[in-house]
Structure 1
Amino acid sequence: MKISKQNAEHYTWGDNCDGWHLVKNKDLSVIHERMPVNTSEVRHYHNYARQFFFVLSGTATIEISGKRIILSREEGIEVPPLLPHQMLNESKHDVEFIVISQPTSKDDRILTNK
């Protein structure tokens, strides 16, 4: 069956951010996310999940272990397990991106202050 954000399971998170589960199982998670201007996720890390973030539209900032990286349309970055990271939208437009987690990051999210 074809999947898109029009027919995928939708959820909201943070401050008016959206997520659509394109693939949702214990071995693999693929989520299409949208972050409005001036929003961010909470800094965290995963013990097991390896993630790949790929920007579809807009400009995102991702902070990984204290280093800030700007991702533009059609750019991505891999985040291995155990590295603290945080996605932010500091631009003047919404940002949409895909985040792939293997295995799923469900129940594998550890919040960090740093």
Structure 2
Amino acid sequence: MKISKQNAEHYVWGSICDGWHLVKNQELSVIHERMPAHTAEVKHYHERSRQFFFVLSGVACMVVNGEEIWLHSQEGIEVPPFVPHQMFNKSDADTEFLVISQPTSRGDRIAVE
């Protein structure tokens, strides 16, 4: 079956950010996400999941293990297990990106203060 943002399972996170499950199983998760201007996710890490973030449109600021990395459209970054990370949209426009997790990050998120 062909999958897209239009027919994928949708959810809201952080009260105003969107996610669409493009692939959702225990071995692999692919999520298309949208962060409005001036939003951020919670700083966290995963014990099992390795993730790849790929910006589709807009600009994202990823803080990975304390280092600030700017990602523009068509750029990405891999985050291995146990590495604290946090994504920010510090711009005045929406940012859309893919989050690919292997295995799924569901139930494998540890918040960092």
| Sequence identity percentage | 67
Structure 2: runs of 5+ lacking an equivalent: none
C-alpha distance in 1, partners of 2:53/2:65?
15
Match of 2:110 in 1: 110
- Alignment partners' CA distance in 1, 2:73 and 2:17: 18
Is 1:60 the counterpart of 2:60 in the alignment? Answer: yes
Q: After superposition, where does 1:1-114 map in structure 2 within 5 Å?
A: 1-113=1-113
Measure how far apart 1:48 and its partner are: 0.4
Instruction: Give the TM-score normalised by structure 1.
Output: 0.98
Amino acid at match of 1:50: R
Q: CA deviation digits over 1:61-86, x for unaligned, max 9?
A: 00001100000000000000000000
* TM-score of the superposed pair, with normalisation by structure 2: 0.99
Number of residue-to-residue matches in the alignment: 113
Amino acid at match of 1:34: R
Deviation digits for residues 15-59 of structure 1 (CA, Å, limit 9, x no counterpart)? 300000000000000000000001000000000000000000000
| Unaligned residue ranges in structure 1 (runs of 5+) | none
Root mean square deviation of aligned Cα: 0.4
